[in-house]
Chain A
Amino acid sequence: MARRLRCLVLVWSCLSGIPSWADEPLVVVPDTQQVDIKMDFTGADLKAVGSMRGPADVIIKVVAPQGEATLSREIKFGPFWIGGDKVKAAGAPSLLFLYANRPIDAILALPEREKFGLVLEGVPVRIEPQLQADAAEEWRKAFFRLKEREGYYHEDDRAVKMFGNRLFIADMALPGGLQTGTYTIETLLVKSGKVVGHDVAHFRVRLAGVERWVWNAAHEHAWLFGSLFTLAAMLLGLALNAIPFRTRRDART
């Protein structure tokens, strides 16, 4: 609650300095600037608090840094289903969330949505190696389908809650397995099917604590890490084996 209040104060203080490029004043502030991936990380719940001058619809786009994914396709080989060909899908954000206070297609027409990148399947994806148009389109469709199924591409038309005509809060549930880097929260204010206001905020996702240490050690000093960790695993096994083991029956006798 205190965090939310701090956000609101910040929003109001920012309103005094409305950016000149925006027709309509709009300020959006996430409740945290940093998401730490620690050992107990299973995802994160973020809130973005926003303020506007009058009644309007709000669309929020959360975009992660670009990530590379390998797509593979199973093929039938005799009676068996085995891994077949594979491609790389690059150039698309590793996560894309679209949030709004009501269905986005009811707020904006398709051409406007496409113009502002508000169509999940409209994100440009580069399929490597280059394929014929039909084949590439199949991989592209599979990419979006899998991204949506695994919760990395997602549209929610109830995530933005309006409080009166001037305030709104968006609940953003980020999944585990997030790509590290700087994420963008782009907010659009829409009136009568036209985008009239725009604001951008950022937050950072990073490995922290033991996770960060392990990741760095495993990648930057791979051989040393592998040797020391394997030795530690052997010593752990040796030490645990030395602990006397007693069952309830042993204890009674």
Chain B
Amino acid sequence: MELFLPIAHMDVNVVLILLYGGLVGFLSGLVGVGGGFLITPLLIFTGIPPIVAVSSGAAQMAGTAAGASHLHWRYGNIDLKMGAVLLAGSWLGGGFGVYLARVLVRAGQFANMVVFLYVVLLGFIGVSMLIESLRAILRGGTGAAVHAQGTAAPGSPIRAWAARLPWQTSFPASGVRMSAAVPLALGAFVGVMTSLMGVGGGFIMVPVMIYILKMPTRIVVGTSLFQLLFTTAAVSIMQAGVNHSVDPVLVVLLILGSVFGTKLGARLGTRLPAEKLRLILALVVVAVAVKMIATLVVPPGEIYDMTIEVR
């Protein structure tokens, strides 16, 4: 069954888009990541213009993160003060990123930038996760804990440097005191990534909050989702306002697929060992990175490409 996308101005297979949403939701439920890193490349591979893929991906994440954030808020897992500072940063970064996206689209370099960022970030994160999860499996499931503690220690020079920054503030819900500039900068970086890659940034935010900011994991997950919800929502609004690139039909299909995929993944996630879950995620991330690298190094059959201006 085909459906015409009014903003992308092309028809797509409904089942395929629902499956994309379902796959991303399934992984999200299984291993607790937003899945934005996966949905944007999948949409681009399908032929959807990169700017529409990125913008609609942000709107889809706002939709799917709404339910999960609501749950965390009810359980008291959100540090609202920290979340507000992160959000201020990510809105600033997101706004800058949207205009940067516009400049890159006009210069014809947006697709280059998206592919480059994906290759670098996914390659680095995927390989790191793959090594960590394989070590954990070989050590019989203890590797993750050892690795987590080992990573926490080298955070001290950064913390010492952060302690000298202005705007020292305490965040009681997280039980930490630091310069507000640190979460502000982290939020800004994630906001730029959301605008350029259509990702929520959880895969950057969560390790930084746990290992560098030393926040409790329970609060990290809730606060990260809170920040993700409002960052992706803001980026979605800005992309729609500036680039007219949020396709509502595409977003609704993705949300439908991802919500049910998330629930299915969450059920299965409780029955699989954590290190195997991380291995699955690592393999998916590496596969996407490899596919992206292939588009860069394999000589194209046709070096010319055409984008039709839709009126």
Chain A interfacial positions (CB closer than 8 Å to B): 37-42, 67-75, 79-83, 85-86, 89, 94, 139, 142-143, 145-147, 149-150, 176-177, 179-181, 207, 210-211, 214-215, 218-219, 222-223, 225-227, 229-231, 233-238, 240-242, 245, 247
Contacts and interface: CB of A to CB of B under 8 A. Distances in A.
Contacts of A71: 304-306
B66 A226 contact: no
Nearest to B245: A218
Interface in B261-311: 263-264, 267, 295-300, 302-311
A218 B246 contact: yes
B260 interface: yes
B9 A233 contact: no
Indicate the member of A82, A145, A147 with the most B CB atoms within 10 Å.
A82
A134 B213 CA distance: 59
B57 to A, nearest CB: 12
Contacts of A73: 303-305
Contacts of B309: 67-70
A222 B102 CA distance: 15
Contacts of B260: 240, 245
A231 B240 CA distance: 13
Interface of B: 2-4, 6-7, 9-11, 59-60, 62-68, 70-71, 108-109, 111-112, 229, 233, 236-242, 244, 246, 248-249, 251-252, 255-256, 259-260, 263-264, 267, 295-300, 302-311
15 contacts: A38-B4, A67-B311, A69-B307, A71-B305, A72-B305, A147-B306, A180-B311, A222-B240, A222-B241, A229-B59, A229-B236, A236-B255, A237-B65, A241-B71, A245-B263
B237 A230 contact: yes
A226 B238 contact: yes
Nearest to A150: B306
Contact of B240 (A69, A79, A81, A223): A223
Contacts of B237: 223, 226-227, 230
Contact of A233 (B59, B111, B304): B59
A146 B263 contact: no
A66 B261 CA distance: 44
A211 B11 CA distance: 12
A229 B240 contact: yes
Nearest to A41: B4
A177 B9 contact: yes
Contacts of A38: 4
Contact of A82 (B3, B233, B239, B296): B296
A68 B62 CA distance: 34
Given A211-B6, A235-B66, A241-B68, A247 B311 contact: no
Contacts of A237: 62-67, 255, 259
Chain A CB within 10 Å, residue with most, of B60, B71, B263, B308: B308
A218 B7 contact: yes
B306 A42 contact: no
B108 A72 contact: yes
Contacts of B302: 145-146, 149
Contacts of A210: 6
Pick the most buried of A86, A149, A180: most chain B CB atoms within 10 A of its CB.
A86
B216 to A, nearest CB: 24
B6 A240 contact: no
Contacts of B109: 83
A207 B311 CA distance: 10
Contacts of A227: 237, 240
B292 to A, nearest CB: 11
A234 B241 contact: no
A42 B9 CA distance: 10
Contact of A226 (B9, B64, B246): B246
Contact of B59 (A230, A235, A247): A230
A236 B241 CA distance: 21
Given A41-B4, A218-B240, A237-B64, 7 more contacts: A70-B108, A145-B302, A177-B9, A179-B311, A230-B240, A234-B66, A241-B66
B264 A226 contact: no
A23 B296 CA distance: 59
A29 B242 CA distance: 43
Contacts of A80: 296-297
B259 A218 contact: no
